[in-house]
Amino acid sequence: MHRQYKYYDFVMAAFVCVLLCSNLIGAGKAAQISVPLLGPVTFSAGVLFFPVSYIFGDVLTEVYGYGRDRRVVWAGFAALAFASLMATVVVSLPPASSDYARQYQEHLVGVFGDTPRIALASMIAFWCGSFSNSFTLAKMKLLTQGRWLWSRTIGSTMVGELIDSSLFYVIAFYGTWPNEQIIAVALAQYALKTGWEILMTPVTYRIVGFLKRAEQEDYYDSRTNFNPFRLN
């Protein structure tokens, strides 16, 4: 008999919402801030919010287990795939014959006209990074016997974000950007994403504590089949 949870569906919806918004709203803007000792640092604006999806992934695996997080990752992947398909179709449709429609089309292409290669890179990187994050956290929870939550939330994010950033920039830009630029940008994004996880650790603790009490659940993946293609 499957357990019913009060907040699992809400956490899933929040995860998918953050994932879509960070990819559709923030990914297209290159922002730049001045950092003491480092000078100007350029980054994708989506980096400010995309790591929140990893925090949700940590919370889901820590409280509900790898298997239930696996379903959420697949839901996020399907949402990304549909959003990419919809963006491609909408951008490809010819605009109406008016000045406003033609100008709007140009802006639409600028915001949602990612190349198929970049969209594919985003989906592959997300899928691999998210499952690596969840697998690492589940195994670390067994290894630490449920102690030192901070070690597995940060450690799993370091693994997942490393895979995510490495795959995305190599798949999306290898052959079009110099290799040195790919490495530099990927490292900068990785540092920002993992830094977010470290800063958000107190928030993660509070959310995990609340959900464990409310759901009366603290799942250990001692008998879990970690095949990412299973849904049950």
| CATH code where residue 143 lies | 1.10.1760
Mean pLDDT of 148-175: 92
Which residue from 79, 61, 66, 71 is spatially nearest to 16, judged by alpha carbons? 79
Give yes or no for residue 39 having a pLDDT over 70. Answer: yes
Taking the C-alpha atoms of residue 82 and residue 29, their distance in angstroms, rounded to an integer, is 21
- Tell me if 222 is assigned to some domain: no
For 176-200, the pLDDT digits (tens) are 888 888 888 888 888 888 888 899 9
For 83-111, the pLDDT digits (tens) are 888 888 888 899 998 999 999 998 888 77
Is residue 6 within 8 A of residue 215, CB to CB? The reply is yes
Q: pTM score, two decimals?
A: 0.88
- Tell me if 1 is assigned to some domain: no
How many domains is the chain partitioned into structurally? 1
- What is the rounded (10 degree) CA torsion for 165, 46, 174, 179? -70
pLDDT confidence band for 209 (50 / 70 / 90):
very high
Mean pLDDT of 60-75: 96
- Tell me if 31 is assigned to some domain: yes
Taking the C-alpha atoms of residue 79 and residue 164, their distance in angstroms, rounded to an integer, is 18
- Tell me if 228 is assigned to some domain: no
- Tell me if 170 is assigned to some domain: yes
- Tell me if 65 is assigned to some domain: yes
pLDDT confidence of residue 26: 66
Mean pLDDT of 216-232: 92
Cα 39–chain centre separation: 27
Name the residue range of residue 184's domain.
Answer: 8-215
